[in-house]
Chains A and B, each alone.
Chain A
Amino acid sequence: MTGRPRRVAITGLGLVTPVGNDVAATWRALLAGRSGVAPITHFDASGFPVRIAGEVKGFDPRHAIEDRKLLKFADRSHALALVAAEEALRDAGIRPEGSDATRWACVVGSGKATLGFGQLGEVHRRCAPDGHFHPDRLLADGFMMDPRAFYRSQTCIGLALLLHRFGIRGYASAVHTACASGSQAVGTAMKLIRRGTADYALAGGFDSMINPIGLASFCLLGALSPDNETPERASRPFDATRNGFVLGEGAGLLVLEAWDAARRRGARIYAELAGDGNSLSSYRITDSHPSGDGPIQAMRQALAAAGVLPEEVDYVNAHGTSTLMNDRSECAAVRAVFGSHAGQIGVSSTKSLMGHLIAGAGAVEAAVCALAIHRGVLPVNANLVAPDSECDLDFVRGQPRVRRIRVAISNSFGFGGSNSCLALRNPDEVEA
């Protein structure tokens, strides 16, 4: 045992997002500022107050996953995850095999459990046609509930499908802290490698709430942008005219490895996953503290865990939901943590182009940070025309910004006050 915890390398990325069905397409769209937000096509949303979302387009998991039986147990978010994981492992050039399989961990942020609109409708038709649930009618002759609907409804099943598909046999966990889930999963996987529980990890997040119940649940809260006529402009984090977030869907998976082993095998290292921070705001369920209390602690922990000074941070991938309360609170937190250096940091929100991928967001945005470091380019914060005067940071507007990044951080703040922050370091900054 050395005294210092092990370093963790990011060596593989896989993305299925509203702007592209793989890493290359997603990155191209982020640089071109091409929005993935459009009118909803998954179902007839014509009666809903909000009719736009960031849907993944033209997605067919059978191109990547030949195991048709496996896909029968997968809901849409699980299929997105399986495809993104396939890409991440291929990208890393390693797979769980033989005795190594027990040294692989898998940690994912998965969406909240849901019965699925189809099965809910079936139970309604059989057991609650009058609106009231009659349990005994579940036993009626000829009514067999679809057991696959049960599997798909379980929060652990996306994880189970990934384990089965890729033969991972070490530590496995599914986590859910709302919009911070993906980030928390990636941070947890990093810690598993740091403390020696695993040598490799498949980590990420996935979600799809673009269905009648998911859309309804956010419409009820009044949290979504109602700009149905201008979908590509609807998500505009930090803009003075922003009016809510846009629901998205997608998956982001990362392959993490113990640094020294990755170096030995000559792996391409996108970035060091250097630290994570988690805090609770413990303020109100849906409100952010105006001072940034909560996010401040998460960012400070992430920097401390990474062993970097605030002055080394060149890029902040903001949570940036495009809601007034989040955007202001996040900017206050960034100013509190970085002080006068805040003006030197490029800031952008991936949600400006993709919408909010909920449990998938943090992982996708961590992957975007890894790409930004690797390519030396900061993606844009789209749709930012006139910044809110309370959001006084150096946002990447108009064109992507070419800049060598020493350290990037990715913020994710969930409903209920779970805050996660990941710190990624340029591999060239790691001592030779």
Chain B
Amino acid sequence: MSARVVVAGSGAICAAGKSPGEIWDAVWTGRPAIRPIRQWDASGWPTSLAGEIAGLDPRDLVEDRKVHRLLQRSDLLGLYAAGRALDDSGFVAYREALEPTAAAAVNDRTGVYVGLGGGGFQNEYEFFPLLTTANGDLGAFGRELAATVNPMWLLRSMPNNVLCHVGIRYGLKGPNACVTNHSVSGSLAVAEAAAALRAGEADRALAVGHDAPIEPQMVLYYHQLGLLSADGLWPFDARRSGSLLGEGAAALVLETETAAAARHVRVFGEFLGSGCTTEAEGLLAIRADGDGLAGAIALALDDAGIRPAEVGMVVAHGSGTRRSDASEAAAIRRVFGATAPPVTAFKWAFGHPLAAAGILDSVLALVALRHGVVPGVATLRELDPDLGNLPVSARPQAPRSDVALVLNRGFGGSNTALVLRAAASEAS
């Protein structure tokens, strides 16, 4: 028998708030945090809206100022969410009470799994002054290099920064992975962390997803590809016209049931299963029939050992693009037929935070189930009639059970599904 995997802590940050509670309040009360971009003057740009974290001060996110110059914006968000999740789980206090040898064994048995987008161009712009100096002469570029560019440049641009800095900061030494597969990276980090716990490779694992894609060149590329809306992010709405970029990070502390019980920790929920498929149709292609996503859902339900009828709510990818939302509705129809559970999505509230989406949505799904409510898609005015009778609403709905299905999709036709169960709330 493989181990049961429980959720013992969470942390999150995005445009809608700096904790799961704050973000939940924004979602629950229907307050989208999508605003004009402020990192540069984007007025007059084809897309000038995004889910930016306002007033971001690195010192508020990560205390140790020495590491600030070794990290990018996305890394800071990831480190912050990871720290909040570990605090929430009571892990550090638990370890501090142990003898040194026992604490070292705990460190070796604690894994770290990170998912990130791996994009970002601004770090490379630090070569601009050198390019100006070199003036097209590569010889000069090489000669002036050391005098012009920060010697630590490479370290700041490494995709595995959060993995390493979380490890160093908290002394974690167990199995690990760093997934760089666009918007499904966070979900895959959860899937691999859970697999390691089930297989007995670790007793607990931190899963982190982070991304910060709101950069001028990135926004323009996404716009060129026809992925962004000029006016707003309205999932499943008849008037939807594209997605909007967000940014943020989220983290879950996963633990085997035995390890969690041994340290008497409060458990939020349980990881039941995951599924991943690709559509192999091309870089941006999405199958209209939702075949790939339906396949991922079927695999996840099978892994969880539950039937479709036992799913209490679906947190859809709901990115707001015409094709993705339509094919997602088709996939949900294929799996659930005419009796789909309530469907919601969260990106209308804080934009599409790419690799952070999977874990952020999972954190919110567990909060929603704990409150016994499926929040509405507050921006929904008129459900696209072409999407059939998708049970999505602007108003709250009641979940059918304590199980959530969380869907994510990314470039290359990647689809993931996670199945989570909320622990019984203390009140009940």
User: Which residues from chain A sit less than 8 Å from chain B, CB to CB?
Assistant: 5, 43-49, 73, 101-102, 106, 110, 112-115, 120-121, 123-124, 128-133, 135-136, 138-139, 144-145, 147, 150-151, 153-157, 159-161, 163-164, 166-178, 184, 188, 191, 195, 197, 212-213, 216-222, 277-286, 294, 297, 301, 305, 414-418
Contact = CB atoms under 8 A, between A and B. Distances in A.
19 contacts: A45-B142, A47-B138, A47-B139, A112-B159, A120-B131, A124-B131, A131-B128, A150-B221, A155-B119, A161-B283, A175-B180, A191-B199, A219-B145, A221-B151, A280-B176, A415-B160, A415-B164, A416-B161, A418-B164
B418 to A, nearest CB: 14
Interface in B114-158: 117-122, 124-125, 127-129, 131-133, 137-143, 145-146, 149-155, 157-158
B337 interface: no
B132 A124 contact: yes
A114 B224 CA distance: 19
B225 interface: yes
Given A163-B413, A175-B177, A416-B163, A153 B121 contact: yes
Range, interface on chain B? 35 or more
B216 A195 contact: no
Nearest to B137: A47
Given A156-B410, A163-B412, A418-B178, A113 B160 contact: no
A156 B412 contact: yes
Contacts of A45: 138, 142
Interface in B326-373: none
A155 B220 CA distance: 18
A184 B199 contact: no
Nearest to A195: B195
A111 B122 CA distance: 18
B127 A418 contact: no
- From B45, B118, B129, B281, name the one whose CB has the most chain A CB atoms within 10 angstroms: B118
Contacts of B44: 136, 139
B40 A135 contact: yes
Interface stretch (B166-174, B264-272, B315-323): B166-174
Contacts of B143: 47
Contacts of A112: 118, 157-159
Given A112-B157, A164-B283, A168-B278, A174 B180 contact: yes
B426 interface: no
Contacts of B410: 156
Nearest to B157: A112
A320 to B, nearest CB: 21
B55 to A, nearest CB: 20
B163 A154 contact: no
A130 B181 CA distance: 35
B159 A133 contact: no
Given A172-B414, A176-B180, A177-B160, A48 B118 contact: no
Interface string B96-130: 00000000000110001000011111101101110
Contacts of B224: 144-145, 147, 150
A219 B146 contact: yes
A171 to B, nearest CB: 4
B64 interface: no
Interface in B245-300: 276-283, 292, 295
Interface pairs A-B: 8 shortest CB-CB: A47-B142, A160-B412, A416-B164, A155-B118, A48-B142, A47-B139, A217-B154, A135-B216
B394 interface: no
B237 interface: no
A102 B145 contact: no
A220 B280 contact: no
Given A124-B128, A218-B154, 5 more contacts: A112-B157, A147-B221, A156-B118, A175-B178, A177-B177
A121 B131 contact: yes
B44 to A, nearest CB: 7
B112 A280 contact: yes
Nearest to A48: B142
B176 A159 contact: no
B182 interface: yes
Contacts of B221: 145, 147, 150
B391 interface: no
Contact of B276 (A101, A120, A172, A418): A172
B188 interface: yes
A161 B412 CA distance: 8
A101 B131 contact: no
Contact of A157 (B155, B201, B411): B411
Contacts of A174: 179-181
A196 to B, nearest CB: 9
Contact of A416 (B140, B160, B220, B412): B160
A263 B168 CA distance: 44
Contact of A284 (B107, B168, B225, B281): B168
Given A129-B132, A153-B119, A285-B70, A102 B155 contact: no
Given A219-B145, A220-B149, A286-B155, A164 B180 contact: no
Centre residue among B140, B150, B160, B173 by max chain A CB count within 10 A: B160
Contacts of A161: 283
A175 B164 contact: no
B125 A73 contact: no
Given A102-B277, A154-B182, A195-B195, A73 B283 contact: yes
B174 A113 contact: no
B244 to A, nearest CB: 18
A218 B292 CA distance: 41
Contacts of B133: 131
B41 interface: yes
Given A191-B199, A280-B167, A44 B138 contact: yes
A220 B40 contact: no
A283 B145 contact: no
Contacts of B182: 154-156
